[in-house]
Amino acid sequence: MARAGLTAERLIQAAAELADEIGFEQVTASALARRFDVKDASLYAHVKSVRELKAQVAALALAELADRVATALAGRAGKDALVAFANAYRDYAREHPGRYAAMRMDLAPDAAGADAARRHSAMTRALLRDYRLSEPDQTDAVRLLHSAFHGYANLEATGGMGHHPRSLDASWSRALDALDVALRNWPATDPAESARETD
């Protein structure tokens, strides 16, 4: 019998908070059950499995980040939009390390987080509008930005860039300057390559 007051929504929120506290990989049925002072088996009246619960945490995180990025992008274009998007992404990763880690889960196309993931891609394409990139350059630029933001956030989270006295904020700012320059001076696509992709 389900414990009164225990719901799937409360479990997902608690799992997200736990992920930020102890790490996404450390979120287990036992750790979550202890948080609610129940037996592990009580959780399965609300979620099918720990994997499903973790996928729901990933969906929550993707939606939260999408909302934050959408707010940051409102009324902005060009470099201002790029910087706003990037800062919203980095800030979320620093404030919610466990939820950020959850977003790396490989979700099925029909999973709850898939819509939020598509929103991220659409917003990245929207911020690229001012850079006037057509396909396949736009897709290449989307991948470049996501790789740069994720790589920086991941290295920062794991202490991978703490070996030099230069501040991480200063390097981040210069990286965004460089990305803006790269987007404004995007190399022309080889017409033969474009033709091969459409064959």
> What is the total count of domains within the chain?
1
> What are the tokens at 174?
């210069």
**More confident of the two residues 111 and 104:** 104
Whole-number Å distance between alpha carbons of 180 and 186: 10
Q: Are the beta carbons of 40 and 94 closer than 8 angstroms?
A: no
Whole-number Å distance between alpha carbons of 35 and 199: 56
State residue 43's pLDDT score.
Answer: 83
Average pLDDT over residues 42-71: 89
Reported as a single tens digit per residue, the pLDDT across 16-47 is 999 999 999 999 988 988 988 888 777 877 88
In a domain, 197, yes or no: no
Write the single-letter amino acid at 113. Answer: G
CA dihedral for 45, 49, 53, 59, sign (positive or negative): negative
| Domain interval for residue 180 | 8-186
State residue 2's pLDDT score.
Answer: 42
State residue 97's pLDDT score.
Answer: 95
Q: Could you tell me the CATH number of the domain that includes residue 118?
A: 1.10.357.10
Q: Are the beta carbons of 71 and 82 closer than 8 angstroms?
A: no
State residue 128's pLDDT score.
Answer: 92
Looking at the chain, the whole-number percentage of residues with pLDDT higher than 90 is 60
> What are the tokens at 187?
């190399």
Write the single-letter amino acid at 132. Answer: R
In a domain, 198, yes or no: no
State residue 196's pLDDT score.
Answer: 57
Q: Is the pLDDT of residue 193 over 70?
A: no
State residue 37's pLDDT score.
Answer: 86
Q: Poorest-confidence range of 12-16, 86-90, 120-124?
A: 120-124
In a domain, 192, yes or no: no
